[in-house]
Amino acid sequence: MSTAAERRERLKEVWREASTCTLCALSETRQTVVFGAGNADADLMFVGEAPGANEDRGGLPFIGQAGRLLDKLLQEVGLERADVFIANVLKCRPPGNRDPRPTEIATCRDYLHRQVELIEPKVICTLGNFSTKLLRDDPTGISRVHGQPEVHVLGRRAVRIFPIFHPAAALYTPSMLDTLRADFAQLPGLLALDPPEQPAAEVFEPVPEAEPDEPDGAPEEVASEEVAPVDPQAPEDAAASEVAPVDDRQLGLF
Ligand code: URA
């Protein structure tokens, strides 16, 4: 079991790793890696699709029109950004806002799973088709599953997945706003439920202790001779001291 402070520090390490990611070709066209932002110990996490132009410039998720609607819907159920963590399936903007490609989704998935493991949300609201299909691990579209919570295991964590339409859909189809509002209205009740039961931790068989060797007169191998003794006064090695500190504000972390 780790404390919230330890999980937060590990989340910053994942951010640091993701911020220079070159695992897929989106790294060649993006301006900024949009890791996600919000409360590192949130009970509620939102997962959208991918950064758009505003997010690519600003480095934070949902800061355009869809983000403003998301803020409004949150406010209507008594929540604000500082209460939740917002991430995306892809951390980099697809050129021209095209749909994420299956290989990009597969390559980026590990970052999302690590975010879920470290934030430990009780509920994950998937926004739209891409995050819903990915996190439910099922091709059923958002129209058929929205508003219906289900428990799924992501990585090593059981979480309530709650699919809702992407807020951008309501920008184009205003009648969608009523559906979004009705689904958002379920959130306080879902957050009040006990967290889902977690899968059993892996149990390792204890390794039997080895019998001590009979002394055979041969000199022991001195493997440790090659290990340089640690000098507590020595300056940190260059590589370690070059790691830039993570600015919580840059990460948008509360
Ligand atoms: N749409 C998304 O899915 N994510 C963002 O961050 C912004 C718009």
The per-residue pLDDT for range 130-155, each reduced to its tens digit, is: 999 999 999 999 999 999 999 999 88
- If you measure from the C-alpha of residue 19 to the centroid of ligand 1, how many angstroms do you get, rounded to a whole number? 17
pLDDT on residue 174: 87
Q: How far apart are CA 145 and CA 54, in angstroms?
A: 29
pLDDT on residue 246: 61
- If you measure from the C-alpha of residue 212 to the centroid of ligand 1, how many angstroms do you get, rounded to a whole number? 61
Q: Is the CB of 51 under 6 A from ligand 1?
A: yes
Q: Is the CB of 52 under 6 A from ligand 1?
A: yes
pLDDT on residue 252: 76
Closest to 61 in 3D by CA, of 40, 26, 32, 104: 32
Using most ligand atoms within 8 A of CB, pick from 47, 88, 125, 135 the residue to mutate for ligand 1: 88
Residues 29, 93 contacting (CB under 8 angstroms): yes
**Residue 115: both structure tokens together:** 């975010």
pLDDT on residue 207: 57
Residues 45, 74 contacting (CB under 8 angstroms): no
**Residue 193: both structure tokens together:** 């439920």
Atom of ligand 1 nearest to the CA of 61: 6
* Residues recorded for the chain: 254
Q: How far apart are CA 55 and CA 131, in angstroms?
A: 17
pTM of the model: 0.83
Residue 45 burial (C-beta neighbours within 10 Å; 0-12, 13-18, 19+): buried
User: Domain-by-domain residue ranges, the chain?
Assistant: 4-196
Residue ranges, the chain, pLDDT below 50:
213-241
pLDDT on residue 37: 97
* Positions of E strands within 72-148: 84-88, 123-127
pLDDT on residue 218: 41
Q: How far apart are CA 178 and CA 238, in angstroms?
A: 56
H helix or E strand, kind and range, residue 145: helix 142-145
H helix or E strand, kind and range, residue 154: strand 150-154
pLDDT per position as a tens digit, 163-204? 999 999 999 998 999 999 999 999 999 999 999 999 887 655
Atom of ligand 1 nearest to the CA of 66: 8
Q: Is the CB of 61 under 6 A from ligand 1?
A: yes
Residues 87, 46 contacting (CB under 8 angstroms): yes
Fold classification of 4-196 is Uracil-DNA Glycosylase, subunit E (3.40.470)
Sequence-distant (≥ 6) Cβ neighbours of residue 41 within 8 angstroms = 4, 7, 8, 119, 120
Q: Is the CB of 36 under 6 A from ligand 1?
A: no
- If you measure from the C-alpha of residue 14 to the centroid of ligand 1, how many angstroms do you get, rounded to a whole number? 20
Using most ligand atoms within 8 A of CB, pick from 32, 55, 63, 132 the residue to mutate for ligand 1: 55
